[in-house]
Every structure is written in C-alpha cells, then in structure tokens.
C-alpha cells in the first residue's frame, strides 16, 4: 500500500479516516487525498536535492491536480509551480504561490498567455523562435521586462508510454540543442527580454534514473555554451517525470526514489556548474511524484454481472479516471470494505460510460464482491481528477482532503445546473 493508506479492521483507511465511512458521508464516486502524504513527499524530494546544492526550487507541475487547495498545501511548504495555461496560472496564484516561483510552460501559447505572464512578472519557458518574436513585440508594447528560459529538446528516448515521452527527437516540445544557441543570441538582442534559464522535460512516469542523468548532461553542455554567449543563468529546470509504482502486490514496479534521482543527477549538475564557473538554481517540476500516491478514487458497485467473465460495474468510469483507457495504465483496486478478505474471484472493474474501453481494472483477483461494496482505485492523485470530464453528462464528483482524522471537501460535486450553465439557445430555438 502507498503510505497514504492503511488497512484497519478490514477497512481501507486514508490517514486516520475510514474510507468506507467517507463514501457513506460524501457519496460516491469520490476522490480522497491524504494531505500529510503530499507534504511528506514535498519535504523528502526537497531534502534529497538539498543534500547536494542549497539553491534548489521545486515547481509542482500543477497539471497533475490543479486544485488550489492542494497548491496552497505545497505553497506553504515553499513550492513554486509549472503552469501550462492561464487556468493553471490562476490556480497557482490563488493557492498563494509567489510569482517568482512560477514558470509558464507550453508549446502553443497564445498572445494572451504571454501578455498575462509579462504582466504578472512570471518567467516564461519559450518553446520556439516564433514565440520569442511575439513576446518581444508584446514586451515592447507594454514596455515591461520579462525573464525567460528556452525549452530544450534533449532528444532522449525514455522508457515510458509513447504518448508521454516528450524529450524524443520528433516530439512537439522544445528546440533541438543544435539550434538553441541562435535562439539565445536572438533573445539577448531583445530590449525587454532577458534569457536567464533553461528548461527541459523528457517525459512522464519514467521508472529508470539513467535518462534523467543523461538529460542533465545534455542540458549542462548547453548551459556552458550559452554562458559563453553572455547569458547569466539563474536557473536550469530539469522538468518532472519521476515515476511511481502503480503495480503493487506480488510483482511490484521498482520505482526510483528522489534520493536515487538526486544521487544520479546532482553530481552531473554540480560538476558541470563548477567546470563552467556558474551557479544557477536547480529547478525540478515533479507532478505525479508529489500527488500520485496520495489519492484514491472511491467508487460504489452498482451491479455484478457473471457471464463468460465477471464484471463489477461501478459508478466511476473514464469520465473520472481516464488513464487506464488512454494509456492502458494500471491502477491497483481494493474493495475498501473487505480490504483484508482473501481473493476469491477474477473480475473486471468497469465504469458507467457507454464505451467498451471504459475499464478501470481488467481481470483482477478480488474478494467476493456484491452490489453496494466500495472499490478504491489506488494512486489516482495525478492526472485523475485533472483529466476528468462530463462525458455522458455525468457531473464530476467531489474531492475530499484528509489530514490525520480530519476529512473535508476541497471541491464539491458538480450539479446538473453546473453542467448546463453554459448552454445558450440560439434565437430560433427560443419561444
Ligand atoms: N513539467 C512539464 C513541462 C510537463 O509537461 C510535465 C508533465 C511535468 C513537468 C510533470 O511530469 P510528472 O512529474 O508528473 O511526470 N496525463 C499523463 C501524464 C502527462 C504528463 C504531461 N506533462 C498520465 O496520466 O500519465
């Protein structure tokens, strides 16, 4: 079990709270996040890095779960954020993150995005020369300075799902290393733009350490070159990507720890800084590692169908957790009210969406399960609620935050009125 969970008298607990009681109190489906686990994760990651260098900044990848409450939890610990949209920027500011700890990322920013970043004094990771020129025009118009980095594509193959490998040669992200010096030169010549950073992100759910060390090497080589051009580097941002062990049980994933990450990456960073005579801050953007394991999705069994296989039909589907349908991701499932009962059946947990692919967990060994049981889907904290939708006109479920024995809403359930609030009838549809 992840640290956020425990089994007590046959029930699954999150912190000191019985998840079965939470399901009764708040209804299902329901996301439950253990705040103390998130805090512990943050402190552990930061401490692992600070063993090597003092000048370290963690930027939480807000896309993993952009609830401003959770952002506030991390802001109180000193985190900044990687934001990818105006919405994430708003959430980060609302959660109390200071502007100087934010980085506006993205390969397809609008002029409104760039303008907002400049106006809020937020650093930008510029993804193309075209974007740089647009930013130049905006800053000249506003007569306001902006600090930038470029997103570099280190062209590294990483062992993960191809949809989330971002640092490969043909990815849409970043500028190849061989073209980067021209980009920095052009930035240096812009009146209001100061290039002060470098950024990369090689992919997500990476279960090996080596690619991070290789990426660090590539980045630091570029760092040396851009320093020679006259760039004074304030930060080098290595992105996120550290994976978590979604497979638990008998044959668990071997997921690298932040300590292992630091041990592989930091010496490369420190040596290269020394060699180049520079001392930029070390930035990193973990999303999944910060919040992934902290959260379960609770869902109730609507019916059990025994045909050629056994289907456990629950009230949450890919509308609330799309990862299994989208990336064939594995999430462990536990029957929360029978958490220590022995496995008796092999069953497939399916959601209420009208698509065959609406499977949360296929062919799992589970205890005898009946209508009304509560199934917990584990490790749902990253890209769970954040990627949810209202497909099939299902309002999104609430999110509850647990801290010790306290459990309260951090987001209420959507209503049908919320869902239809944006509908407008064209004139010829009105009476
Ligand atoms: N920084 C940048 C620029 C990113 O694009 C991402 C993730 C991160 C940081 C955080 O990566 P993490 O530490 O969470 O791996 N929806 C997919 C994952 C997409 C990740 C997108 N970018 C999933 O559910 O697996």
Q: Are strands 193-199 and 175-176 parallel, antiparallel or unpaired?
A: unpaired
Question: Are the C-beta atoms of 97 and 103 separated by less than 8 Å?
Answer: no
Please name the residue that has the structure tokens 């949360």: 360
pLDDT, tens only, 81-94 = 999 999 999 999 99
Atom of ligand 1 nearest to the CA of 199: 3
User: Is 404 part of any known ligand binding site?
Assistant: no
SS3 108: coil
The token pair at 3 is 């640290």
Q: Which of 204, 246, 330, 389 has most ligand 1 atoms within 8 Å of CB, for mutation? A: 204
The neighbour count for residue 240, using CB atoms within 10 Å, is 27
pTM, two decimal places: 0.97
Q: Tell me which residue of 75, 121, 122, 79 sits closest to 95, measured CA to CA.
A: 75
Q: How far is the CA of 203 from the centre of ligand 1 (A)?
A: 7
What is the average pLDDT score of the chain? 97
DSSP state of 403: E
Question: Are the C-beta atoms of 383 and 404 separated by less than 8 Å?
Answer: no
Question: Are the C-beta atoms of 287 and 64 separated by less than 8 Å?
Answer: yes
Q: Which of 288, 295, 322, 384 has most ligand 1 atoms within 8 Å of CB, for mutation? A: 288
Q: Which of 42, 61, 384 has most ligand 1 atoms within 8 Å of CB, for mutation? A: 61
CA distance 267 to 290: 23
Mean pLDDT along residues 321-348: 98
Q: Is 200 a catalytic residue?
A: no
- 139 phi and psi angles, rounded to 5 deg: -65, -35
Question: Are the C-beta atoms of 14 and 5 separated by less than 8 Å?
Answer: yes
415 contact partners, CB below 8 Å, separation of at least 6: 395
User: Is 90 part of any known ligand binding site?
Assistant: no
Q: Are strands 17-18 and 146-153 parallel, antiparallel or unpaired?
A: unpaired
Atom of ligand 1 nearest to the CA of 205: 15
User: Is 287 part of any known ligand binding site?
Assistant: yes
- DSSP letters for 290-358: HHGGGEEEEEEEEEEEESSSEEEEES--TTT--HHHHH-----EEEGGGTTSPP-EEEEEE-SSSSTT-
- pLDDT of amino acid 166: 77
- pLDDT of amino acid 334: 98
SS3 270: helix
Q: Is the confidence at residue 395, as pLDDT, over 80?
A: yes
Mean pLDDT along residues 308-328: 98
CA distance 380 to 32: 9
DSSP state of 206: B
Q: How far is the CA of 166 from the centre of ligand 1 (A)?
A: 9
CA distance 300 to 35: 23
pLDDT, tens only, 99-128 = 999 999 999 999 999 999 999 999 999 999
Q: Is the confidence at residue 68, as pLDDT, over 90?
A: yes
User: Is 396 part of any known ligand binding site?
Assistant: no
CA distance 140 to 115: 11
pLDDT, tens only, 356-369 = 999 999 999 999 99
Beta bridge mates, 301: 314
Q: Which of 14, 200, 354, 397 is catalytic?
A: 354
Ligand 1 binding residues, C-beta < 6 A = 61, 64, 82, 105, 164, 201, 204-205, 239-242, 285-289, 323, 327, 382-383
Number of H helices and E strands in the chain, helices first, is: 12, 21
What is the end-to-end Cα distance of the chain in Å, rounded?
58
The token pair at 296 is 């379960």
User: What b/e sequence results for 132-142 when a residue is b if at least 16 CB atoms lie within 10 Å of its CB, and e otherwise?
Assistant: bebbbebbeee
The token pair at 104 is 């506006």
Q: Strands, E, within 107-224: which ranges? A: 123-126, 146-153, 175-176, 193-199
pLDDT, tens only, 126-175 = 999 999 999 999 999 999 999 999 999 998 888 888 777 777 788 899 99
Q: Whose alpha carbon is nearest atom 23 of ligand 1?
A: 383
- pLDDT of amino acid 98: 97
Q: Is 15 left (phi over 0), alpha (psi -120 to 50) or beta?
A: left
Q: Whose alpha carbon is nearest atom 5 of ligand 1?
A: 201
pLDDT, tens only, 255-298 = 999 999 999 999 999 999 999 999 999 999 999 999 999 999 99
Question: Are the C-beta atoms of 291 and 381 separated by less than 8 Å?
Answer: yes
SS3 116: helix
Q: Are strands 5-8 and 11-14 parallel, antiparallel or unpaired?
A: antiparallel
């Amino acid at each position: 079990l992840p640290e956020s969970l425990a089994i007590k008298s046959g029930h699954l607990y999150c912190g000191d709270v019985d998840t079965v009681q939470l399901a009764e109190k708040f209804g299902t489906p329901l996301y439950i996040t253990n705040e103390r686990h998130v805090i512990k994760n943050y402190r552990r990651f930061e401490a692992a890095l600070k063993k090597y260098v003092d000048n370290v900044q963690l930027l939480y990848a807000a896309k993993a779960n952009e609830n401003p409450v959770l952002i506030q939890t991390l802001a109180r610990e000193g985190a900044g954020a990687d934001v990818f949209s105006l919405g994430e920027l708003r959430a980060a500011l609302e959660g109390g993150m200071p502007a100087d700890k934010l980085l506006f990322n993205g390969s397809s920013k609008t002029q409104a995005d760039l303008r907002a970043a400049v106006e809020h004094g937020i650093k930008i990771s510029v993804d193309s020369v075209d974007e740089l020129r647009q930013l130049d025009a905006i800053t000249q118009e506003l007569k306001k300075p902006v600090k930038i980095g470029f997103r570099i594509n280190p062209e590294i193959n990483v062992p993960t799902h191809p949809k989330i490998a971002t640092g490969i040669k043909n990815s849409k992200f970043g500028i190849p290393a061989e073209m980067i010096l021209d980009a920095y030169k052009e930035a240096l010549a812009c009146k209001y733009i100061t290039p002060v950073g470098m950024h990369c992100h090689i992919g997500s759910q990476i279960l090996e350490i080596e690619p991070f060390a290789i990426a660090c090497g590539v980045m630091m080589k570029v760092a040396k070159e851009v320093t020679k051009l006259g760039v004074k580097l304030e930060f080098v941002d290595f992105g996120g990507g550290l994976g978590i062990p979604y497979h638990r049980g008998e044959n668990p994933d071997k997921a690298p720890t932040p300590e292992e990450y630091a041990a592989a990456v930091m010496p490369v960073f420190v040596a290269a800084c020394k060699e180049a005579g520079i001392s930029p801050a070390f930035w990193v953007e973990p999303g999944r590692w910060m919040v992934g394991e902290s959260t379960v999705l609770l869902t109730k069994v609507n019916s059990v169908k025994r045909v050629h296989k056994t289907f456990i039909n629950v009230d949450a589907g890919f509308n609330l957790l799309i990862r299994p349908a989208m990336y064939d991701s594995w999430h462990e499932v536990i029957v929360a009210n029978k958490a220590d009962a022995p496995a008796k059946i092999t069953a497939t947990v399916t959601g209420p969406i009208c698509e065959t692919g609406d499977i949360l967990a296929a062919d799992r060994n589970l205890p005898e399960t009946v209508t009304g049981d509560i199934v917990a889907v584990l490790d749902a904290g990253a890209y769970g609620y954040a990627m949810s939708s209202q497909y099939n006109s299902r309002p999104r479920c609430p999110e509850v935050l647990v801290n010790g024995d306290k459990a309260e809403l951090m987001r209420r359930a959507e209503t049908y009125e919320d869902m239809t609030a944006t509908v407008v009838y064209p004139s010829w549809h009105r009476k």
